[in-house]
Structure 1
Amino acid sequence: MIEVFICEDEVNQRSELVKHVENYIMMENFDMELALSTGDPEELLSYVQFGGEGMGLYFLDVDLKHPRLDGLELAQKIREYDPRGFIVFITTHAELSYLTFTYKVEAMDYIIKDDFDKVRNRIFDCMRSVEERVGRERKEVGKFFTMKTDEKVIHELYDDILFLSTLKTKARRIILHGQDRQIEFYGTLKSLEDSFDERFYKTHRAFIVNTDKIESVNYVNGIITMVNQEECLLSTRASKDFREFIRRRGGKTQNSRPISE
């Protein structure tokens, strides 16, 4: 179920938002629930960090009168715990819309409170869009690595994962190396081995690699070079079986790209 959140510190406007969200969930029979409506951004953050399911829909007032967090800063914090959530800003200040790019929060929409009929329609459009997008992703659930930790919810396409490695400087910390970002989280590679499909291979006690993202393998030196030129280790113990695994695939990735030696 998609969790919907409202953070608006003006009581009457918050009540209007709640009414419209709840009415639309009921009328359209969407797989959504209003998880929290509040004027306190810290209350929302606490919920998202410790109780949220991830990929929530957030309606945030930009102009929060909180001493430590305005709506944009709140959105940045939400991104730490729910990187794939949907954020919608609602404000009276059209001139602040450019700040959503400055804060790099990837907002879904920026709704101006100039006409509440328009506001209501834009809210409905956002909810409909999220329902459709999440519905499509659920049909492709096997294509995603999803993990909830105490710190965040990780939801990443398998195709976007290059490899996972342990962090030498911190115990029980893992780094997921993606196409365009890295995600650090608490855990062990051993506990994650069964979370991945057949293209992923544990080449070393400190590495699980996506074999579709391998550029080349140096079996003599035990070095695997990925398509982004990062290097992973191949242990002596794993080398023979890994070489046979690659040989059975014709020395190619699943999408038929040759792996050089």
Structure 2
Amino acid sequence: MEIGEDKQSGLELASRIRATIPLAKIVFITTHDELSFVTLERRIAPLDYILKDQSADLITQRIIKDINVVQNELKKTNSQRKDVFNYKSGTRYFSLALDDVILLSTSKLRPGSVQLHAINKVAEFPGNLNALEEKYPQFFRCDKSSLVNLNHLRSFDYKEKELLLDGEIRYKASFRKSRELNKLLRDN
């Protein structure tokens, strides 16, 4: 709550965070138990309000519990949303709009890793294309090492078997998949 000498600067910061990021999870760690009602009056809606007069171990346990609660909520929310692409890298979870994904391909330098090409984002994470293809059937399997979001297809050269995707990404389709893609494009 208190930052420097200002007893309510933490409240001001929390109010700005709430206004900017409405679904943010806010946890106060403070000695000012009398300000807990002010958080309700300002509609800050903190996830937790931890008092510093507890032991360091207890405070640590509460913080860990809060982090676990938020991670479980995110997992549930993201798995229920079908318009979101989710992936995990290390201990961090990431989500982006499914429509923003352009291409998923296996990493040639790191077996067992998938490269993600999206609008304004390139990332690499552990995974395999078979599982991603099953989870996201809207992607087109262009060869054994790539999945393409056809909503980002700008052109397809059937003779060269080359796709031109948004972001000037060029990708070759296998012989069999190029026939399948040609038929799919012709029928639609």
Q: TM-score, normalised on structure 2?
A: 0.62
Structure 1 residues 213 and 46: alpha-carbon distance in aligned structure 2, compared to 1, 3 A threshold: farther
CA distance in 1, matches of 2:99, 2:64: 30
Task: Tell me whether 1:228 sits opposite 2:167 in the alignment.
Answer: yes
Q: In the alignment, what sits opposite 1:142? A: 82
Structure 1 residues 212 and 38: alpha-carbon distance in aligned structure 2, compared to 1, 3 A threshold: farther
Cα offset, 1:236, TM superposition = 1.6
Structure 1 residues 52 and 193: alpha-carbon distance in aligned structure 2, compared to 1, 3 A threshold: same
Tell me, what secondary structure is at the counterpart of 2:47?
Answer: strand
Q: In the alignment, what sits opposite 1:175? A: 115
Provide, for residues 223-252 of structure 1, a one-character-per-residue CA deviation record: whole Å limited to 9, x for no partner: 211021111221123121121111111xxx
Map residues 1-261 of structure 1 onto 2, 5 A cutoff.
4-6=25-27, 8=29, 10-12=30-32, 16=35, 20=39, 34=47, 52-53=71-72, 141-148=81-88, 150-198=90-138, 200-249=139-188
CA distance in 2, matches of 1:204, 1:52: 35
Q: Is the 8 A contact 1:18 1:37 kept in 2?
A: no
Q: Which amino acid aligns with 1:6?
A: V
Q: Is the 8 A contact 2:140 2:147 kept in 1?
A: yes
165-174 vs 218-227, which deviates more?
Answer: 218-227
Across the aligned residues of Structure 1 and Structure 2, the Cα RMSD in angstroms comes to 4.2
Cα offset, 1:54, TM superposition = 6.8
Q: Which amino acid aligns with 2:113?
A: R
Tell me, what secondary structure is at the counterpart of 1:159?
Answer: helix
Q: Report which of the two structures shows the higher radius of gyration computed on alpha carbons.
A: 2
Cα offset, 1:204, TM superposition = 1.2
Q: Is the 8 A contact 2:88 2:125 kept in 1?
A: no
Tell me, what secondary structure is at the counterpart of 2:168?
Answer: coil
Q: Is the 8 A contact 2:39 2:46 kept in 1?
A: no
Q: Is the 8 A contact 1:164 1:209 kept in 2?
A: yes
Q: Which runs of 5+ in 2 are unaligned?
A: 1-22
Identity rate, percent: 17
CA distance in 2, matches of 1:190, 1:227: 24
Structure 1 residues 237 and 45: alpha-carbon distance in aligned structure 2, compared to 1, 3 A threshold: farther
Tell me, what secondary structure is at the counterpart of 2:151?
Answer: helix
CA distance in 1, matches of 2:173, 2:51: 51
Q: TM-score, normalised on structure 1?
A: 0.47
Tell me, what secondary structure is at the counterpart of 2:82?
Answer: helix
Tell me, what secondary structure is at the counterpart of 1:171?
Answer: coil
